[in-house]
Amino acid sequence: MRAACAPKNLKDSTFFMIRSTHVQPFLLVALVLLAFNGSVLAAKPVEIPEALRQAERERIETMQQAAPAVVAIFDPSGKGGGSGVVISPDGYTVTNFHVVAELGPFMKCGLNDGKLYDAVIIGIDPTGDVAVIRLLGRDDFPVATVGDSDTVRVGDMTFAMGNPFLLATDFQPTVTYGMVSGTHRYQFPAGTFLEYTDCIQVDASINPGNSGGPLFNADGELIGINGRISVEDRGRRNVGAGYAISINQVMNFLDHLKSGRIVDHATLGATVQSNSDGSVVVSNVLETSEAYRRGLRVGDELISFAGRPVRSVNQFKNILGIYPKGWTVPLSYSRENERFNVTVQLMALHRRAELVKDEVPDQAPDQDPDAPKIPLPEELHKLHEKKPEIPEEYASLWEERAGFANYAVNVDHRERILKTLDAWGDFSKQPEGWAIVGKLSDGKAADIRLQPTAVAAKLGESFAVQPLDQDFQDQPPGTGGLLAAIFHLRKLLTDPDNYFTEFYYLGSEPLGGTGPRTDVIIATKGLTTSRFFFNQQSGEFVGFDMSLEETVDPCRIRFGPLKSTNGISFPETLTVEHAGDLWDKLTVDSLQFFAPDKKPEEAS
């Protein structure tokens, strides 16, 4: 009887299977299709268009070309890690701060050449969740091609590469493919310093371990650094919403990070809100901010900021979040239908002590559990406290100092930049008395004397004196402290290490907000701070800003071409600006040196 019930043909067998309660639904569908459309069995193979095959080949080739620059980061103790991407042949690599926060100053990194490399911490940005490390042992590392994240559009195809769940133990990066789901996303700090601004949202799978890894566009250009995901039910399952820090933000901060410092973000010194008509207006502005000194007031409408239009509060925060503190950017605002165009220097987002203080607010209880935590100080200090075995050949590459992730790097950059001052000559061997003699733009005589106890000036018919044993003042009035600035210049050229309280490389920024990129050396003494600017391409010392204190407009001095006399070079002109206005342009006829007990003309 059992044999008689067996199916006699395919159609009978299909119905027999349908009656079974053990058959999976998808199998039933397949069998039905086979039973009622026998022509399927005899159909020719589907022809795949050549254009589709070519697109597939190009996609695979692009990923293969990108893979060599992708870094798998591992804790030498085996307790953690993440991803990164190499951006220069000498091994500089971008990753997330939360990836390296607990790894100590040295770590292990693998590339898809199958080799494991030592790496050293360089600089960190706890607010923006970015860090730079440097792979060691080569000067010809494969690098990613840096793209322009401002050109990214919703719907663009992207792929992420990295070390999810630390699976890349063979150093071969995992690839996930998807598209851009959103641009210019802003995610507020939520109880921490962490602030993801102007980031790229993607649906390519981003999972724990992908952090710090690259996000590429379809052409294989680096457009972001993967850092954060949205998760379901406070678990750690990706739900198709990953966020990458825009590469343009990273590039703004790159030289600051390469300085070896713990870097900070910027604030305008003002808060904004949206009106019912959609305008974005100032709700509060600090009187100590340069924005206030340039005229910004409560109720003013923001039109554009840093060259980008401002149409919402989030848009304003997105723009602001991509700049380091101290950058100068253009600002346009309106009041009673009158438009004002100014440039403003951005303030620090945090007090300096906040980045290294004893207690930093912990993560809010409702914070996304996969979001990187901005560290408590012990996490910051782990970079210094954790003492892994350091290869002897690399021991000199890291030095501990408060406020720095790696002070040794800063010293190297500072000395490299100061070497360009050799073009000015050796001022340290000259007598202590200086006389800068020339004329003002109206033809009147100018004579500035620097002596051991004071700086004095006769400018036309007016006199000004700055005693060196007193607090620096705005002398001559309206310059922002020209005499103090000239004294800072002399100390830079003669004895900076023994005079300035702090003397370090800051990073780079566009001069005046729109000029050429310049390396910046910071020098402080008491309340005064000078920012010395060196053209990044030519190395030329182009000028400096000297502030009597943080909350006042600086004296801005820009140099003309150098003129050489007896082995010493000095600018032919000094253009002096203060509070956004030109004070005067001093033409220098001569720089004379003299012993303090002699007049300039008596000096040899």
Residue 93: what are its φ and ψ, rounded to 5°?
Answer: -135, 135
- Residue pair 201/183 in contact (Cβ under 8 Å)? The answer is yes
How is residue 389 written in tokens?
Answer: 């075995």
DSSP 305-342: ETTEE--SHHHHHHHHTTSBTT-EEEEEEEETTEEEEE
CA 598 to chain centre: 50
What distance in Å separates the CA atoms of residue 472 and residue 401, rounded to the nearest whole number? 29
- Residue type at 147 in one-letter notation: G
Of 125, 129, 511, 185, residue with least CA distance to 324 = 125
Q: Terminal CA-to-CA distance of the chain, rounded, Å?
A: 128
Q: What is the DSSP string of 79-103?
A: S-EEEEEE-STT-EEEE-HHHHTTS
Q: Which of 75, 98, 370, 508 is catalytic?
A: 98
Residue pointed to by tokens 């067996």: 6
The span from the CA of 512 to the CA of 522, in Å, is: 16
Helix H segments across 208-312?
247-258, 290-293
* 463/448 Cα distance (integer angstroms): 10
Q: Is 564 designated active site? A: no
Catalytic residue among 129, 203, 264, 370: 129
Which contacts qualify for 296-304: CB closer than 8 Å, 24 or more apart? Answer: 296/270, 296/331, 296/333, 296/342, 296/344, 297/335, 299/335, 300/333, 300/334, 300/335, 301/333, 301/334, 301/335, 302/272, 302/331, 302/332, 302/333, 303/332, 303/333, 303/334, 303/339, 304/330, 304/331, 304/332
| From 149, 181, 205, 211, active-site residue | 211
Which among 534, 545, 576 has a CA at the least distance from the CA of 436?
Answer: 576
The three-state secondary structure class of 562 is: strand
Q: Residue 533: enclosing H or E segment and its boundaries?
A: strand 528-535
Which element (helix H / strand E) includes 569? strand 568-571
251: which residues sit within 8 A by CB, 6+ positions away? 146
Query: Known catalytic residue: 129?
Result: yes
Which pair of structure tokens corresponds to residue 406? 């790696």
For residue 519, what are its two tokens?
């390396």
98 is catalytic: yes
Q: Which residues of 274-308 are buried (b: 16+ CB within 10 A; e: fewer)?
A: eeeeeebbbeebbeebbbbbbebeeebbbbbbbeb
Q: Which secondary structure element, helix H or strand E, spans residue 51, and what is its range?
A: helix 50-66
Cβ-proximal residues to 138 (8 Å cutoff; 6+ apart), any chain: 91, 117
Residue with tokens 């409408």: 301
Residue 592 corresponds to which tokens in the numbers above? 């004379």
CA geometry: angle 538, 544, 547, nearest 5 deg? 160
Q: What is the separation of C-alpha 269 from the centre of its chain, rounded to a whole number of angstroms?
A: 20
Q: Residues with catalytic annotation?
A: 98, 129, 211
